Amino acid sequence: MSEGLQADIAVIGAGPGGYVAALRAAQQKSKVVVIEKDEVGGTCLNRGCIPTKALLASVEVLEMSSQARAFGLAGEPLKPDLAAMIARKDRIVKQLVNGIKFLFKTRQIELVQGLGKIVSPETIEVARPDGSKTSVKAGKIIIATGSEPAKLPGFEPDGQTVITSTDALKMTSLPANILIIGAGAIGCEFAVVFSRLGAQVTIVEMLPQILPTEDEEIAGELRKIFEMSGIKIFTGVKVEKTEKLAGGRTRVALSNGQAEETDRILLGVGRSFNTTGIGLEELNVRMDRKAVAVNEKMETSVPGVYAIGDVTGKILLAHVASHQGLVAVANILGEGKSMDYTCVPGCIYTRPEVASVGLSEKKAREKSQDITVGKFPFAANGKAVCIGEAKGMVKIVADSKTRKVLGVHIVGPHATDLIAEAVLAIKSGCTTEEITETIHAHPTLSETVMEAAEVAQGTPIHIV
């Protein structure tokens, strides 16, 4: 084993939780070592958030080109080139990876390539790719090992017939048919990509609605839009078995008695936590089922060892991981901060987009019957009509007595950007009246939030 490194803080994993924690710690003059077995940026940058958004951006341009005549423009619509789209995605990923490495170098963060294993609360043993080993001694340790695509028993990925989201990001040719198991964010986003590129897409979801964690009405609206675009959807249905057919195709038997034939099966059934092989058992770190148990300060059961991101099993979102990283570092440095999960925005980059924060209508009614709901359609918004994206709506759930905003749910153009106002509103304890009294620029999509607040108050302006 080579001579080890010394650090104030060692971070295992350089995803959006780990690298943000490292940058903040270094900014506060701590000596930081980051251990990463693959590439900096983690799943989000290399195999998740960024690559899928790059592909969806290409799809958006393609879709807009197909509508050129409706905008008064002449010329042939563009044709998809999946290989070129993948190449563009790879360039974007490389650029952003290099950006993180530059920040590491600028802030004098030591990056160690290899698989880290905690052997004591102060020591991490690192197995390097070349077979050598080194150690890192640190005052505090942050576990940020993330997650990977979950497996489905009986549907083992082979990279050809049965693929994961990681495999899908490497495809350079489009299958004629693809069946997606799971209608969460991953499944629905890939449904948009493949459908808009020309594949026949079928989604199978075992729960009663697509996007199971979203407001029922918003999910139902997206389902209608999906089905109008030709995507076939089965909800409340399980995949029971598969049968190989000639020509590489597969017959998929469903629990409703129907069968679908497809060229590819994409698994979009969630994530599994990367907790094995990193020393948790030997260190007796307390687990919460298969995730690392942490308190509101991101501390594990072992003093001096923290955990952040997907591996904690809280809310599996990149921005949550990043914020957890900031909280962990603040507590390591004695600032005393706590995580608050009550105001986390959820963003799904479908076409149209979906975004939400706070309580759904159903959950709000379960807590109290005394609520009011305001809904405003993008079809009544001038900017949405101008850009040709007038499907969807903004929905605000508020307390009918105090007018305090409890939840905001959006399906429509740029929903993932519009949700920021709603997050701040809930975080600040704003009322619908305070939103309506805030002047929103015209013409903008953000007016839909103001208009939904007007409806919630019973004073609609641009709808009856």
List the domains of the chain with CATH numbers: 5-148+272-332 (3.50.50.60), 162-269 (3.50.50.60), 352-456 (3.30.390.30)
CA-based torsion, 7, 9, 11, 15: positive or negative: negative
pLDDT 10s digits, 204-248: 999 999 999 999 999 999 999 999 999 999 999 999 999 999 888
Question: Is a pLDDT exceeding 80 seen at residue 51?
Answer: yes
pLDDT confidence band for 355 (50 / 70 / 90): very high
pLDDT 10s digits, 61-98: 999 999 999 999 988 889 999 999 999 999 999 999 99
Nearest C-alpha neighbor of 351 from the set 181, 196, 233, 186: 196
Question: Is a pLDDT exceeding 90 seen at residue 4?
Answer: no
pLDDT 10s digits, 371-391: 999 999 999 999 999 999 999
pLDDT attached to residue 1: 57
CA distance 332 to 5: 20
Asked whether the beta carbons of 75 and 146 are under 8 A apart, the reply is no
pLDDT attached to residue 394: 98
Nearest C-alpha neighbor of 126 from the set 281, 11, 44, 275: 11
Question: Is a pLDDT exceeding 90 seen at residue 331?
Answer: yes
Question: Is a pLDDT exceeding 60 seen at residue 406?
Answer: yes
Mean predicted confidence (pLDDT) in 426-435: 97
CA distance 164 to 224: 26
Q: How far is CA 390 from the centre of its chain?
A: 24
pLDDT attached to residue 84: 96
pLDDT attached to residue 385: 98
pLDDT attached to residue 150: 87
Mean predicted confidence (pLDDT) in 135-145: 97
Asked whether the beta carbons of 407 and 215 are under 8 A apart, the reply is yes
**DSSP secondary structure code for residue 431 in this structure:** B
pLDDT attached to residue 369: 78
Tell me phi and psi for residue 184, to 5 degrees: -80, -160
Question: Is a pLDDT exceeding 70 seen at residue 2?
Answer: no
The count of C-alpha atoms lying within 13 angstroms of the C-alpha of 282, restricted to the half-sphere facing its C-beta, is 11
| Tokens describing residue 19 | 């690298």
Residues forming the active site: 442
pLDDT attached to residue 3: 63
pLDDT attached to residue 389: 96
CA distance 55 to 47: 12
CA distance 351 to 339: 32
CA distance 143 to 446: 39
CA distance 200 to 107: 48
